[in-house]
Structure 1
Amino acid sequence: MAVELDKKTGKYMFAGKIYKDGKCIKRYRKRGFDSKWEAQKAEVEFRKDFFMLPSDMNFDRLYKAFKEYNKKYVKESTLKSDEYLYNVLSKEMKDIDFLDKRQMQNLINKFDEKYSKAYVSRIYFFLNKLYKFGVTSEYIQSNPMTYVKRDLRLNERKEEMTIWQQYDFDLFIEEVDEQMMKCFYSVLFYMGLRKGEAMALQWKDIDFRKQTIDINKTYRYKEEDPNKWLTPPKTNNSYRTITMPNTLSKMLREWFLECSKWDDYTKDKFVFGYYKP
């Protein structure tokens, strides 16, 4: 929305764009107003015919529109994460005005008192992207999270990450008896893979001659749709080929020789699991 002086005529004009679901559906411009106020009033009236905000818009309806839009653009894991945060928030939103910046600030303050800094950040950024979608799609007029602050806890001591040394891992792996699980934990420790990346490994991803493992997918269990168990890695940088140490290569080769004896063995079989890809 913009009102400005038309240099050609010396009168005021308004111009702008109408968006729906993030896409421009109409561009407009109208000239000939004697005052800036008249142009502003006329633009408001003009946009009423196109404005998509339902009079009964609420947090639940906004999220449903957001979810439907995002199905085309984000991974299943992101949709699941958003769904989880929505379920956490929906109960709280029933008692407050979801567009009131003061009430939203009180809500974030409440979470800051109960939850960790990382968890509150997840909630905060989810709300921010939800409201930004609402503004862009013209379901709502403003983003209340623009004015909401969260406690950055600058003086909070960061928890030290516990990292196993070789000695620690050796003690642990001695207690693991099952051959497949011994290999699984060893891959995680020596190669630094995420659990989903290790579970997605197929025998065709392992090159024993070069002693390398090709990481090109991740595993996410989705009971209702087995075809979506394998998804691309988390980021483009997650695609990688890494070299195995001799200890791990020997261990995996022994597991491979065992698996290759099975009647239904193929290179498409998962390294760690008995299910079909």
Structure 2
Amino acid sequence: MPATKDKNGTWVSRFYYTTYTGEKKQSFKRGFKTKKEALEYEREFLSTKNFTSDITFRKLAELYLNDIKNRIKETTFLSKQGIIEDKILPIFADKYIEEITPVIVRQFQNELLSYKNKDGMGYKPTYLKLLNSCLSAILNFAVKFHNLNSNPCIKAGTIGKRSAGEMHIWTVDEFNKFINIVSDPELYVAYNLLFWTGMRIGEMLALTYDDVDFDKNTIRINKTYTKKNGRILITTPKTSGSKRVIAVTEDVIKIMKEYRSKIYANESSDRLFSYHVEHYRKKMKEYAKSVNIKKIRVHDLRHSHASLLIHLGVNPVAISKRLGHERLDTTLNTYSHLYADSNDELMKKLESLK
């Protein structure tokens, strides 16, 4: 039913729609200043009630976020929301989803691939993969619920990589050169924990005193830390397999006992560490440079620990459990290249049986 004027000179929107149960209802709203506003209200209303592809990407993204909000962790939701608002909406917001073609998606991908910051650096392959996957997820939502015939991202192809590629690690000697010049007590303990336990930095930053058993030499991992929009969020770990108890050496426990004795906060529910992630990154680069060893990421301390365990011949299942991987194949896929030379050793053992 077209928009009409009422006796006050304003426009009225009156139309019928069908609910997802098949029930036919009427919507009525008055007070619009122009006919265009009344018709736009009808269009936007129907886009949320009827399954139709005749909606803007902005509205689709809003529906998508509302749909997933209670289905994923808050930190994951905030991350997706940020990506959509910062990187995707500026390009697609006002386009109707039925108008988004593989060519348009391809143009978006090419813009991402050609981006360079002031230092001439482009987006990391893993970030490119994340951006493309986020766009594809929204359009998949349109395919499932808004009668979009197909996802144009599929025809456009993908960009980026799921993993970061080449892995940079420190040997024990390199780590010792690094840690020996770290004078800040918190940094000293934190870097030791990351290298000698392989825990994720978010897991480490969420640790409280009651997570450490100083008698049994173990650390319990049952939560993770993140900071979004200025808010500190302590949530459940990355996966169900991430909940675990890590055995640590006497040296690590001794370091933690000394640290506990030096700081004021000492309640069982107090977090052990106060610095933000970026501070750990910044100082790690500075220390590495001062002792002339290669720069690696904070997360690479976790990879260094895994590499050390593989070098020591630890069973992959035990490594997987220690790292908190939900599946063994995650461990094997991530570190398979570190086993590259094991064939020679394997053949030597088989030959020795003759």
Q: Same fold (TM over 0.5)?
A: yes
Percent identity of the aligned residues? 26
Q: 1:140, CA displacement in angstroms?
A: 4.0
Is 1:147 matched up with 2:155? yes
Larger proportion of helix: 2
Partner SS for 2:227: coil
State the distance in 1 between where 2:94 and 2:52 align.
21
The answer to whether residue 88 in structure 2 is matched with residue 89 in structure 1 is yes
2:129 to 113, 117, 121: 121
Q: Is the CA contact (8 Å cut-off) linking 2:128 and 2:160 kept in structure 1?
A: no
Are the equivalent residues in 2 in contact too, given 1:203–1:271 (CA < 8 A)? Answer: yes
Question: Secondary structure at the residue paired with 1:175?
Answer: coil
For residue 246 of structure 2, give the secondary structure of its aligned residue in structure 1. Answer: strand
**2:255 aligned to which of 219, 233, 251:** 251
Q: CA deviation at 1:96?
A: 6.2
Unaligned runs of 5+ in 2: 1-17, 24-46, 116-122, 276-354
3-state SS in 2 of match to 1:221: strand
1:196 counterpart (184, 191, 202): 202
Q: Would you say the 8 A contact 1:218–1:230 is kept in 2? A: yes
| Structure 1: runs of 5 or more not aligned | 1-18, 28-47
Distance 2:185 2:124 in 1: 38
1:221 and 1:26 map into 2 onto residues whose CA distance is: 44
Residue 225 of structure 1: CA displacement? 5.2
Alignment of 1:44-55 (within 5 A): 51-53=50-52, 55=54
Q: How much does 1:152 deviate? A: 7.0
Residue-pair matches, total? 223
**Partner Cα distance (1:132, 1:189) in 2:** 40
User: Separation in 1 of the partners of 2:159 and 2:129?
Assistant: 9
TM-score normalised to structure 2 length: 0.56
Q: 1:152 to 1:186 in 2, by over 3 A?
A: closer
Task: Answer yes or no: is 1:162 the counterpart of 2:168.
Answer: yes
The answer to whether the aligner puts 1:171 opposite 2:177 as a matched pair is: yes
Structure 2: distance between partners of 1:134 and 1:268: 45
Task: Assess if the C-alpha contact under 8 Å between 1:202 and 1:271 holds in 2.
Answer: yes
RMSD, matched Cα:
3.1
Q: Say if 2:126 and 2:160, in contact at 8 Å, map to a contact too.
A: no
* Counterpart selection for 2:211 from 174, 197, 205: 205
TM-score, L = length of structure 1: 0.70
Inter-CA distance 240–121: structure 2 relative to 1 (3 Å threshold): same
Shift of the alpha carbon at 1:60?
1.3
**Structure 2: how far apart are the matches of 1:236 and 1:273?**
26
